[in-house]
Homo-oligomer: A and B are copies of this chain.
Amino acid sequence: MGRAATDATSDPELACPVSPVVDIVFSRWTTPILWALHTFGRHRFVELERRITGITPKVLTQRLRQLERDGLVVRTYHPEVPPRVEYEISDLGRSLGPLFAHLTEWAGANLGKVEQARRHYDDTGAPRG
């Protein structure tokens, strides 16, 4: 009682406890960044740019800022010439490690089944109705 109907906007998050994590961790380009920092340690900007093939500097900056704001990544600026900036994963970011391992494990066990289901659907599975 007392709440207006505009709460509907946030209802999906209330109804599904996974959604808030998705917004933080699983938006585009964030998992490759976190994965790189978690697996290979500290990186400079260009090192990330080269490792994560296809990302543009603009988007890399955006994602790194977001991850820094969310406390998953730590940025260290060294006022030298040329400037040097280092990114590393934080303790909070590192706490995602088991989750990523779990996801990788699921992928290894089930991605094949997904592709098989897709082939089956594309061949015969058109929805009737």
Residues of A that sit less than 8 Å from B by CB? 8-9, 11-12, 15-22, 24, 26, 29, 31-32, 35-36, 51-55, 65, 68-72, 75, 77, 79, 83, 85, 92, 95-96, 98-100, 102-104, 106-111, 113-114, 116-118, 120-122, 125, 127-129
Q: Identify the closest chain B residue to A91 (Cβ).
A: B113
Please name 28 pairs of A and B residues whose Cβ atoms are closer than 8 Å in the assembled complex, sorted by A. Answer: A11-B52, A11-B53, A11-B54, A12-B55, A15-B32, A15-B35, A15-B36, A17-B107, A18-B35, A18-B100, A18-B104, A21-B104, A21-B107, A21-B111, A22-B26, A68-B127, A69-B118, A69-B122, A70-B118, A71-B117, A71-B118, A71-B121, A79-B129, A83-B129, A92-B113, A92-B114, A95-B110, A99-B102
